[in-house]
Amino acid sequence: MKRGPDLPRPSVLNYLARPEGSRQGKHFGFEEIDTVSSMRRALDIVDQRKRSLETKVHSSKRAYYDRVPWQCEALDHLKAQERWIVSPQRQELWHYTTSSTEDAPSVVIYPDMFGSDFGLCEETAVINERRSGDEKDRWTHASVSFDAIASVLPLARAMGAMVTPHLHNGVTHILCDLQEGFDQVDNIDQITKYSFLNENRGNDLIKRVNSINAKCIFIGPDWIRNTWGKPKSKEC
Name the CATH topology of 68-227.
Answer: Rossmann fold (3.40.50)
Please state, in angstroms and rounded to a whole number, the distance separating the CA atoms of residues 169 and 123: 6
DSSP track, the chain: -------EEEPTT-TTPPP-SS-HHHHTTEEE--SHHHHHHHHHHHHHHHHHHHHHHHHHHHHHHHSPPHHHHHHHHS-GGGGGGG--TT-TT----STT-TTPPP-EEEES-STT------HHHHHHHHHHT-HHHHHTT--TT-HHHHTTHHHHHHTT-EE-SS--TT--EEE--BPTT-SEE--GGG--GGGBSSHHHHHHHHHHHHHHT---EEE-HHHHHHHTTPPPPS--
| Higher-scoring residue by pLDDT: 163, 72 | 163
At how many degrees (to 10) do helices 70-77 and 123-132 cross?
110
The boundaries of every CATH 3.40.50.10190 domain in the chain are 68-227
pLDDT tens string 133-155: 777 778 888 887 778 899 999 89
What is the predicted pLDDT for the residue at 174?
Answer: 95
Asked if 155 and 109 touch (Cβ cutoff 8 Å), the reply is no
Query: What are the pLDDT digits (tens) for 103-128?
Result: 566 789 999 999 889 999 998 898 88
Q: Indicate the pLDDT class of residue 61, thresholds 50, 70 and 90.
A: very low
Burial (Cβ within 10 Å: 0-12, 13-18, ≥19) of residue 132: exposed
User: What region does 158 belong to: left with phi over 0, alpha with psi -120 to 50, or beta?
Assistant: alpha
Phi and psi at 9, nearest 5°, equal -145, 150
Place 50 in a pLDDT band, splitting at 50, 70 and 90.
confident
Rounded CA-CA distance 132/126 in Å is 10
CB 225 within 8 A of CB 152: yes
- Rounded Cα–Cα distance for residues 34 and 7 (Å): 9
Q: How far apart are CA 183 and CA 7, in angstroms?
A: 56
Strands 8-10 vs 217-219: parallel, antiparallel or unpaired: unpaired
Phi, psi of 178 (to 5 degrees): -100, 160
* pLDDT value of residue 101: 52
